[in-house]
Structure 1
Amino acid sequence: MKKWVVAVIVLIALMCGAFWGMADKDLRRLVLNMPTDINVLFWDTAQRDAVFRTMDWVPLLSKSRIIEAGDTPYPLPEGSPLELDTNVDAFMESQRAAALIIVQDGKVRLERYGLEFGPEGRWTSFSVAKSFTSTLVGAALKDGYIDSLEDKVSAYIPDLRGSAYDNVTIWQLLTMTSGVAWNEDYADPQSDVALFNAHKADSGVDVTVSYMRQLKAEASPGAKWVYKTGETNLIGVLVSSATGKPLADYLSEKVWKPFGMEQDASWLLGSTGHEVSGCCVQASTRDFARFGLFLLGGGMIDGESVLPDGWISQATSKQVDIDKPGQGYGYQWWTLDDGAFMAKGIFGQAIFIDPKRNLVIASNGNWPQASDRQGATHGEERLAFFRQVQQAVDRESEP
């Protein structure tokens, strides 16, 4: 890379660092490991370590929009340490974890950090953002911007008319049962998930809509579940179209400010200026945990839920089968048959919520591979750890 390019990058990083209050060590890490390719799926480990904590500063990536926090943070008091039958340090090392927070009965029972990350930093969410986006669908329903989940998607996104999405409902988008063909292989540079963000949009059309409307159906709407990040991006376009508000602003209005998130967050934008709603909310791990508490508490703000009656129960229970015993998929939430549910993102991001145990676990990291689909077992190991946390809580309640 030419020296003048490095100098410009350093200047931009310093300016952004001053704005966000980023530590000098993170600036140095970013400059030394600045990726030259926009596609995160094919960065090396050092690049991911640097950028996951600075995603909204990287010149190669698109701009971001601020999700403003309020003035009074939701309290996270310290509780007694949770006695776990596992070596937490070894677990975090194996996971390449940047952060792990366990909140039970509203108190922090465990909080650890790694990869030279800390509570003041903000880590990217990847697909954890999908669950934020689906929650905004619920808010838009409650506010009257969306009439029904049975409405056709094309009624809110006219540029989809005449495509395979013409007869797909909002419910089918939320549950990823549109029947439209899609390849989510993170290891394949020719997969849809690797290509769609770099797509050159048709003139005057949102980049996601431009890409998605060229896809073909492989099944009738509602007949087949296939995980599709691009469809969550469509949901974000739909919510913004219905509300007339950017997603970041709507999330700030409905959750981030009134619930009491401690730090401003940010949401990356696609090339045509819309939030990449299937990905890429940068927030502190404590605020990810607070989002779990928001759901755990029924979405209540000042004594009233910002979500429709029954929304959380529907969104976080199995709506479709995913061919994994004991698991399912709701409205952009991964569901477990014991009543717990999760938001999950590639490379190790998660929010685990267990209403029965009044439990929230937020974790961030940088796995060596994007997901267990590439033959790794980091996701299985993480779920096993979450189960051990559940067991530890159960032991405390035994007489």
Structure 2
Amino acid sequence: MKTGTKWSLRVFLTLLIVAAVSWWAVGPDWRAFLSDPPTDTRILFWSQSQRDEGFKLLDQLPWLVKSRDITPSKNVRPLPKGEAISLSQDINAFFEEQSLSGALILHKGKIRFEKYGLGHSVDKRWTSFSVAKSFTSSLVGIALKEGHISSLNDKVSQYIVGLKGSAYDDVTIEQLLTMTSGVAWNESYTDPNSDVSQFNLHQAEDGLPTIVSYMRQLKRAHPPGEKWSYSTGETNLIGILVEQATGRNLADYLTEKIWQPFGMENNASWLLGADGYEISGCCIQASLRDYARYGLFILEEGAINGESIFPDDWLAKATNKQVDIGRDGKGYGYQWWTFNDGSFTARGIFGQTIFIDPKHDLVIAFNGNWLHASDPILNEKRFNFIDLIRASIDAEAN
């Protein structure tokens, strides 16, 4: 064999070995994801198998989206193990039906149940989707107490000057929080041309944040405060408002005010739009236990070192019905879904949930990957399961 041929063979074999080692080094989640990579940058249109792997990796795909770190605490809030809760439902069948990657039940601050699926585990992150809206709401409450926001009756365009001259001139911060701005918005998760599918692809004008440039062109559908209409765009504006008011990016503000002082255990992240702002209506990546800790933080009325970091009446308004959504026994607060029995929940597409019931001293966190972004039947079955948990707690008390 000629020297040149030997050299080429050595180079080829070396590259082959390097590629094999690299493929093994990225780990099973990456290998599974890269074996069937999505071609559409919009997660709404990935296949279920692509989402099973991708939901664990969204903040590790820099060619798709950037993220900003949320740093954990050096003084972790313990979650001690409690007695296993008695469940009358087949939990394995429930996991399969709900396509769950994790479920955790905290009762009186103790873990009564914890289980993982879809290759997820206790220290891995999973994306939140609209569960992040409730986190964003908390940052508004903190900014209000700290005086960065004067009043929820202030007009939105007072803080986001790029909205001056738009339909948002007449909208208050409170109306933004309750999604009653009256500005037209299409939240369809199946329509590629809907606002929720298109806003992050928008080319911003005049150096504005992408969402501000997009939202200021929208037309009014109803007078402000008259009608509730679910809009991720509104929450994305809330994030810009908080950043403009505080001078802090959302990930750092969350880290400083909640994540570290309350004792979150794991690294987390917040996905960024192309303009470098957090997509505040979506997309925090965190461990299931830290989602549950956030629920515990709310259950404990936002107390850090014995004192709430919210205004006195904040949670009473934020987590109770402020507007009617046309469903019996249910309503909407400040970016929280509310129930007439006093419980409330943060919810995200594909089955993400943090459920909080103060009367039962209960927090339940779910992560998952439903086949469709929204599924009323699976949602109803999930809350039937939650009712079984509450019934089990009631039976223990009796």
- Indicate whether the TM-score tops 0.5: yes
Q: 1: distance between equivalents of 2:64 and 2:147?
A: 34
Which stretch shifts more, 304-313 or 130-139?
A: 304-313
Contact conserved, 2:273 with 2:279, CA < 8 A, in 1? yes
Q: Residue 107 of structure 1 aligns with which residue? A: 110
> 1:197-248 deviations in whole A, cap 9, x for unaligned?
1111113100000110000001100001000001000000000000000000
2:180 is matched by which residue type in structure 1? T
Contact conserved, 1:38 with 1:60, CA < 8 A, in 2? no
**2:51 maps to which of 27, 48, 51:** 48
Q: What TM-score do you get using the length of structure 1 for normalisation? A: 0.93
1:380 is matched by which residue type in structure 2? E
Provide structure 2 residue ranges, at least 5 long, that are not aligned to the other structure. 1-14
Q: Residue 156 of structure 2 aligns with which residue? A: 153
Q: Residue 286 of structure 1 aligns with which residue? A: 289
1:287 is matched by which residue type in structure 2? D
Q: 2: distance between equivalents of 1:27 and 1:47?
A: 11
Q: Residue 4 of structure 1 aligns with which residue? A: none
Matches within 5 A, 1:174-189: 174-189=177-192
1:350 is matched by which residue type in structure 2? T
Q: Does 1:79 align with 2:75?
A: no
Q: Residue 199 of structure 1 aligns with which residue? A: 202
Q: Residue 62 of structure 1 aligns with which residue? A: 65
Q: Does 1:397 align with 2:387?
A: no
Q: 1: distance between equivalents of 2:59 and 2:243?
A: 21
Question: When the two structures are aligned, how many residues end up with a matched partner?
Answer: 380
Q: Residue 379 of structure 1 aligns with which residue? A: 379
1:254 Cα offset (Å): 0.6
Q: Residue 330 of structure 1 aligns with which residue? A: 333
Q: 1: distance between equivalents of 2:64 and 2:164?
A: 30
Contact conserved, 2:292 with 2:354, CA < 8 A, in 1? yes
Matches within 5 A, 1:1-399: 24-372=27-375, 376-398=376-398
**Which of these two proteins has the greater Rg computed from alpha carbons?**
2
Contact conserved, 1:37 with 1:60, CA < 8 A, in 2? no
1:60 Cα offset (Å): 4.0
Q: Residue 4 of structure 2 aligns with which residue? A: none
Q: 2: distance between equivalents of 1:33 and 1:132?
A: 32
Q: 1: distance between equivalents of 2:104 and 2:198?
A: 34
3-state SS of the aligned residue for 2:169? coil
1:379 Cα offset (Å): 1.0
Contact conserved, 2:58 with 2:65, CA < 8 A, in 1? no
Q: 2: distance between equivalents of 1:371 and 1:187?
A: 10
> 1:67-96 deviations in whole A, cap 9, x for unaligned?
111101111000001011211111111000
> 1:18-43 deviations in whole A, cap 9, x for unaligned?
9xxxx711121221132221111111
1:268 is matched by which residue type in structure 2? L
1:50 Cα offset (Å): 1.1
Q: 1: distance between equivalents of 2:387 and 2:325?
A: 20
State the percentage of identical aligned residues. Answer: 57
1:163 is matched by which residue type in structure 2? S
2:148 is matched by which residue type in structure 1? Y
3-state SS of the aligned residue for 2:293? helix
Q: 1: distance between equivalents of 2:384 and 2:63?
A: 37
3-state SS of the aligned residue for 1:178? coil
Contact conserved, 1:33 with 1:50, CA < 8 A, in 2? no
1:288 Cα offset (Å): 0.0
Q: 1: distance between equivalents of 2:235 and 2:304?
A: 25
User: Stretches of 4+ moved more than 3 A in 1?
Assistant: none
Q: 2: distance between equivalents of 1:85 and 1:107?
A: 20
> 1:152-195 deviations in whole A, cap 9, x for unaligned?
00000000000011110000000000000111111111111111
Contact conserved, 1:141 with 1:308, CA < 8 A, in 2? yes
